[in-house]
Amino acid sequence: MLKKILALLAAIPLLISKLPETATGYYHTAGSSIISPTGEPVVLYSMGFGNDVWEGSLDKVGLHHNEDSFKEMAELGFNSVRFLLNYRWFEDDSAPYTYKQEGFDFLDQSIAWAKKYGIGLVLNMHYPQGGYQSQGKGTALWTDAENQKRLVSLWGEIARRYANEPCIIGYGIVNEPVVPEKNTVEETVGQCRSLVQRCTDEIRRYDDDHIIFAERVAGVQNVSTGETLWGEYTADMLWYLIDDHNVVYETHFYEPMALTHQTAQNTAEYQTEDIYADYLSYWVDCISAKQVGGSQYYETDYFQRTEEYNLFSPALHTWKIGSGSASFDNITVTEYSPDGSSRVIWHEDFSDGDLDIIGEWSSDGSGKIRTDGGCCTLSGSNDDHVLTLRRFELKEGCRYKISGCISGDITQGGAADIRADFALAENIFSSGRELINNRLSAVIEFGRKNNVPVFLGEFGSDAESFKENRGGERWVEDVLDFCVENGLSFSYHAYHEPMFGFYPEDTSSFPQERNEALAKLFMEKLQREH
């Protein structure tokens, strides 16, 4: 009998650990999970509501959203909204610490709509005192102690007013913090940790229940030059932990940037089978195909991996072709294995009229492209004009050749050739999906290692990436798949914005035409999970 009693006593901790979380009436954390007000683990499926956050006055905020917007979120399968705030809605720089009711009235109206449709809100300070952070123009938040004091106080006022509001999931202290560079990584990141801790401590004076969303440092700024050092600090250097019992740690994801920020870069496509990598040098060298026997057929010599480069791309090149033109056809990449066998690993005959490229470059902006008659024709270039078709990894021990045909009316002094362009990179991925899984797995690992929940607070692709089959929706699908399959909470960015919007228009009128490819994708991926 004594042994049975001792066995039962020993089992009590195990039994307790298997009991469901008790309902608190508020969202909260438990280990690496987010717990709903009813006590059940929940994954946040969020959409970012931008609220015309760049406007300093609510009088200028357009028709960003209304009650139907929250209804739409519920219908699509979202359970929450990341709700962006501007500090100037709540206080004026001329009267700090004097809080304006109009900002809270605006927030109260959205809370009422959100509650009606079962949507939780993550309040995010997107534009804090000292300036918007993401573009490295908000340095004054970190260098002016008064700005920090005002942010701390404002978060305390928000917490005081909403401590008993179960619709609010939590408070996102500052969006994409870009901090000044200090002598060490610890000092640099410590600036953000310290401010987030101060805001958290102030919030806890009034509200011990709501979650704190602490975003990792997004960038580091060289104060002397004003340059933001995006590549010098790796993501794992920029995470930090704060001292609190109820925290979700946040990061954002927009890789590859050339796809998701179409309006800031050359047009790029998301190819599910293309090479993605961290480039050390985009262009190292090249080798041009040689004409074979006076024919239209051209072929390179063998080339292979070296210490200087490990990637290559077939490229079409013209130089000073002027009013002439060069037509390219049957571009072929052949791989030769160490055992003497060979195989064609890629071929493009342009017969379908589509042109799948990863980049176009012209030294002076001149040059035109057309695909008709079963070939790709370049014309009108006054100097160098290069069309990069695909990327391939140079495998150890293998040799390669690129071949194809060139014809046309090449003006005197001009030239056209088929090239292999070489690049050097590390962390090479065979597909965009593999890149996404690798990067986001690191986010999951941070949460697992520290036993904390993580939140992909922003991911999205601008409106241009959804045009002309560039693959924006394929990229979104791959990110969604990872999040859903791995239970990673996320917020798609964003709902109604001029560049990144699910409704990709200005907000002077509402509603407008939405991105139906995305709507269908959200319904397919999110509704079945509820």
Mean pLDDT score, 349-365: 85
pLDDT averaged over every residue in the chain: 92
Distance CA 274, CA 6 (A): 61
Question: Among residues 429, 445, 470, which one ends one of the domains?
Answer: 429
Specify whether 496 is located in the same domain as 448: yes
pLDDT at 7 over 50: no
Q: Return the higher-pLDDT residue of 463 and 8.
A: 463
- Find the CATH number of the domain harbouring 424: 2.60.120
Q: pLDDT at position 1, please? A: 43
- Measured CA to CA, the distance from residue 127 to residue 55 in angstroms comes to 10
Q: Would you place residue 10 in the very low, low, confident or very high pLDDT band (cuts 50, 70, 90)?
A: very low
Q: What is the pLDDT of residue 4?
A: 42
Q: Provide the CA 55 distance to its chain's centre, in angstroms.
A: 24
**Under DSSP, is residue 212 helix (H, G, I), strand (E, B) or coil?**
strand
Instruction: Please tell me whether residues 170 and 247 are part of one structural domain.
Output: yes
Q: What pLDDT does residue 266 have? A: 58
Same domain, 394 and 514: no
Distance between CA atoms of 323 and 316, rounded to whole angstroms? 18
Q: Is residue 450 in a domain?
A: yes
pLDDT of residue 14: 33
Q: Which of 389, 408, 429 is the last residue of a domain?
A: 429
Asked whether residue 266 is domain-assigned, the answer is: no
What total number of domains does the chain contain?
2
Select the more confidently predicted residue: 9 or 241. Answer: 241
Distance CA 529, CA 487 (A): 10
- Check which CATH number belongs to the domain holding 471 and give it: 3.20.20.80
Would the pLDDT of 15 be above 50?
no
E-state strands within 349-414: 359-362, 368-372, 375-379, 384-388, 392-393, 399-409
11 within some domain = no
Which of 34, 126, 49 lies closest to 83 in space, CA to CA? Answer: 49
Shared domain check, 244 and 111: yes
Look at residue 372 in the predicted model and tell me its pLDDT.
84
Q: What is the dihedral of CA 49, 466, 444, 119, to 10 degrees?
A: 30
452's tokens? 């904390």
Is residue 500 assigned to a domain? yes
425 and 441, same domain (yes or no): no
Domain co-membership, 295 together with 195: no
Q: Which of 412, 429, 446 is the last residue in one of the domains? A: 429
Confidence of residue 21 (pLDDT cuts 50, 70, 90): very low
Residue 327: inside a domain, yes or no?
yes
Q: For the chain, how many helices (H) and strands (E)?
A: 11, 27
Q: How many CB atoms lie within 10 A of CB 71?
A: 14
Identity at 86, one-letter amino acid code: N
The answer to whether residue 5 scores a pLDDT higher than 70 is no
Burial of 88 (0-12, 13-18, 19+ CB in 10 A): middle
Q: What pLDDT does residue 265 have?
A: 58
Residues 158 and 283 in one domain: no
For residues 210 and 286, state if they share a domain. no
Establish if 63 belongs to a structural domain: yes
> How confident is the model over 227-277, as pLDDT tens digits?
888 778 888 999 999 999 999 999 999 999 888 987 765 567 887 778 899
Burial of residue 428 (number of CB atoms within 10 Å: 0-12, 13-18, 19+)? middle
54 to 132, 274, 503: CA distances (angstroms): 9, 36, 17
The verdict on residue 284 lying in a domain is yes
| Joined tokens for residue 22 | 């008790």
Q: Let me know whether 389 and 454 are in one domain.
A: no
- The percent of residues in the chain predicted with pLDDT above 70, rounded, is 94
pLDDT band at residue 18 using 50, 70 and 90 as cut-offs? very low
Whether residue 296 lies inside any domain: the answer is yes
Least confident of 21-30, 184-193, 194-203, 366-375: 21-30
Domain with 292 in it? 274-429
CA distance 450 to 276: 29
User: How high is the pLDDT of residue 45?
Assistant: 98
Structure confidence at residue 212 as a pLDDT band (50, 70, 90): very high
Residue 11: the pLDDT is 40
Instruction: Report residue 506's pLDDT band, with 50, 70 and 90 as the boundaries.
Output: confident
For 279-317, what is each residue's pLDDT tens digit? Answer: 899 999 999 999 999 899 999 999 999 999 999 999 999
Same domain? 248 vs 367:
no
Q: How confident is the model at residue 22 (pLDDT cuts 50, 70, 90)?
A: low
Residues 369, 339 share a domain? yes
- 255 and 278 within one domain: no
Residue 528 binned pLDDT confidence (cut-offs 50, 70, 90):
low
Q: How confident is the model at residue 388 (pLDDT cuts 50, 70, 90)?
A: very high
